[in-house]
Structure formats: structure tokens, C-alpha cells
């Protein structure tokens, strides 16, 4: 759990801005009739245009800029030529490497209108900010994890327990692991200057997931909705600094 010095933090901010712009471009592109592969190409172009590189190229065997899942898909979905349709819940996960420094983010959106799915997504976003609010120096990993678990479960949803958030920096995945469940006051102490990819990986039904036939995509076993919200943050003394906020890019 290495902290970043001021120069490294600047590079993480630069990487995070590119990541945020790429996610914003992806979310804008998701419409009925558009395919995951088309969104992936848009993201790749946006990343390169802004001087970044594809973090996912560092994952052995993976060749895309994004992971895109739909409806009962949860994470690690391969972009395909399936056209999005009205009512789809689409999750985009992407990461950028800039001058050797990685930032990671994800967001889920709904195409069209469906009150039940809107409520599900609102739970995910609310949970993400609840977890981020605990990424403060002096707190512990368990404070983030418990905030995620409590917010998800209060809404009647389930945390996926077999996957977790993580540290991020020189590598796409670094220590510490940040589960979506846990106890307050437990785990490693957070220090100012740490950079974390806080993830909310949750479902509308059972927490159990299984990998699909493509060898990458994880789906809910009960075929309930899956959702994913993630931001890279810099731990601070008073509050966390969000490095990948696409709404401000």
C-alpha cells in the first residue's frame, strides 16, 4: 500500500482526467442500435486522442479498451456486435495508463425508462459515494467496505462477495483489496496519498455469479440485474479526491 508523492499524484490526476473523458464519451454513445464494439472503438479513440494508453492491454489475453456488460452481466464483459435495445442496463468498465500510471472507473446506465431499473442504479451510485466518503486518512479499509455493504443491503440488493475494489497506480491492480462487505474499524489503515479504485459490484437478486462461455464475462446465477460503479480516488486528510469523475470532465 504505497502512498504517492506530489509528482506521482499529479500524474494520477492527469491519468484520471483522460479516464473520465473516455467514460463520458462511452456513456454518451450508448443508445439503441449501437453495439458494444462501437462503444469500445469510441473509447479507444478518446484515450489515444488525449495521450493515454489502454490499461487493459496489460491484462494477458485481453485486447479491448473496455469491458461492457448488459443486464444480468456483472463484470469483465467482452464488447460484442449485439445492438443495445430499449430497456437494456449497460455497464462500462475502463482504465487508462498515462506515463505508466493507471486509473480505473466504471458506470452503469439504463437505456429508456424502467422505474425498477432506475431505482437499482440509484442504489449503486448512492453506494459508491457512500464508500468514497470513507476514503479518508485514519479510517480503515473496513470503513469503506461496511459503507458499501450497508447501503446496498438496505436497498434489498446484494453485494458480489467474490470480487473487490483495489489499489491502483503503477499497476492496474495493487494492494489493498477493498471488498464490498466488511466491518467498520477493521483492516489496514488508510493514509493520505494512497490511490484506490473503489468498486460497487452488486446485484438485484442473489450475490452468486458465474463465468460465461466466453471465459471472461461474469453473470448473475439467478439472472437478476448486475450493476457496477467505480471511481479512482486519492485518499486525503479531510476527504477523498475523485480522480475519474466523468460528470466534471
Tens digit of each residue's pLDDT (9 = 90 or more) over 85-99: 999 999 999 999 999
pLDDT in tens, 204-249: 999 999 999 999 999 999 999 999 999 999 999 999 999 999 999 9
Instruction: Work out how many domains the chain is built from and give that number.
Output: 1
**Residues 6 or more apart from 148 whose CB is under 8 A from it?**
127, 130, 131, 159, 180, 181, 198, 200
Map grid coordinates 499497476 to a residue. 171
Helix (H, G, I), strand (E, B) or coil at 122: helix
For residue 1, the model assigns a pLDDT of: 67
For residue 29, the model assigns a pLDDT of: 98
Residue 27 lies in a domain: yes
Residue 23 lies in a domain: yes
pLDDT in tens, 127-153: 999 999 999 999 999 999 999 999 999
Question: Of 224, 225, 207, which is closest to residue 160 (Cα–Cα)?
Answer: 207
Angstrom distance (rounded) from CA 218 to CA 226: 9
Residue 242 lies in a domain: yes
Angstrom distance (rounded) from CA 26 to CA 20: 10
Residue 2 predicted with pLDDT over 90: no
Residue 148 lies in a domain: yes
Q: Range of 95's domain? A: 6-248
Alpha-helical runs (H) found in 30-97: 36-49
Spell out where 71-214 has E strands: 73-75, 89-98, 101-110, 158-159, 164-167, 174-179, 195-203, 209-211
Residue 185 lies in a domain: yes
Model-level pTM?
0.97
Question: Of 201, 124, 126, 196, which is closest to residue 166 (Cα–Cα)?
Answer: 196
Angstrom distance (rounded) from CA 243 to CA 153: 27
Residue 154 lies in a domain: yes
Q: How many CB atoms lie within 10 A of CB 14?
A: 19
The enclosing domain of 189 has a CATH number of 3.90.230.10
Residue 80 predicted with pLDDT over 90: yes
Q: Which three cell numbers stand for residue 85?
A: 435495445
Residue 1 lies in a domain: no
Amino acid at each position: 500500500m504505497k502512498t504517492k508523492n506530489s509528482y506521482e499524484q499529479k500524474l494520477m490526476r492527469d491519468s484520471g482526467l483522460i479516464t473520465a473523458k473516455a467514460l463520458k464519451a462511452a456513456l454518451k454513445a450508448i443508445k439503441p442500435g449501437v453495439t458494444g464494439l462501437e462503444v469500445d472503438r469510441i473509447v479507444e479513440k478518446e484515450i489515444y486522442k488525449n495521450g493515454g494508453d489502454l490499461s487493459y492491454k496489460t491484462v494477458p489475453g485481453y485486447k479491448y479498451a473496455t469491458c461492457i456488460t448488459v443486464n444480468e452481466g456483472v463484470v469483465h464483459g467482452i464488447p460484442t456486435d449485439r445492438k443495445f435495445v430499449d430497456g437494456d442496463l449497460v455497464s462500462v468498465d475502463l482504465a487508462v495508463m498515462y506515463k505508466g500510471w493507471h486509473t480505473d472507473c466504471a458506470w452503469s446506465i439504463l437505456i429508456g425508462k424502467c422505474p425498477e431499473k432506475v431505482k437499482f442504479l440509484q442504489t449503486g451510485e448512492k453506494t459508491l459515494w457512500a464508500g468514497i466518503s470513507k476514503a479518508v486518512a485514519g479510517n480503515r479499509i473496513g470503513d469503506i467496505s461496511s459503507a458499501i455493504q450497508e447501503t446496498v443491503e438496505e436497498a434489498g440488493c446484494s453485494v458480489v462477495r467474490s470480487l473487490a475494489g483495489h489499489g491502483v497506480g503503477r499497476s492496474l491492480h495493487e494492494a489493498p483489496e477493498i471488498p464490498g462487505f466488511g466491518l467498520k474499524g477493521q483492516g489496514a489503515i488508510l493514509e493520505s496519498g494512497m490511490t484506490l479504485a473503489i468498486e460497487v459490484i452488486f446485484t438485484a437478486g442473489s450475490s452468486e455469479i458465474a463465468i460465461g462461455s466466453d471465459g471472461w464475462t461474469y453473470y448473475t446465477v439467478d439472472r437478476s440485474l448486475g450493476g457496477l460503479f467505480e471511481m479512482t480516488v486519492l485518499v486525503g486528510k479531510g476527504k477523498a479526491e475523485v480522480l475519474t469523475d466523468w460528470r466534471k470532465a
